Amino acid sequence: MQDAEVRTVHLPASATETIVGFELSPHDQYLSVHIMPNRETDASDGYPVNAQTRDATTLFVNVASGEVRRSVLGFDATWP
């Protein structure tokens, strides 16, 4: 990726929010950002494999504007 543009699309909303993962949509219009809203009050979902926080949230961020268009509880959102 020579001459690729590098820029910040989304930053944590607070000092306790943690970005856990992200995925770009097929047409590069949105970024799904998997967050842990508050690592200080995090509670595990108890799954024995690949445990996640009970408060896991996915934000859908417009890549061009950085605007959070939607948020949903959960993680591993997939693009249609």
Give the pLDDT score at 62. 95
Q: Which residues of the chain carry a pLDDT beneath 70?
A: 1-2, 80
Give the pLDDT score at 49. 87
pTM of the model as a whole = 0.80
* Distance (Å, whole) CA 43 – CA 40: 9
Give the pLDDT score at 1. 52
Ranges assigned E (strand) in 10-76: 18-24, 30-36, 57-62, 68-73
Residues with Cβ within 8 Å of 75's Cβ and at least 6 positions away in sequence, in order, are 20, 21, 34, 52, 56, 57, 58
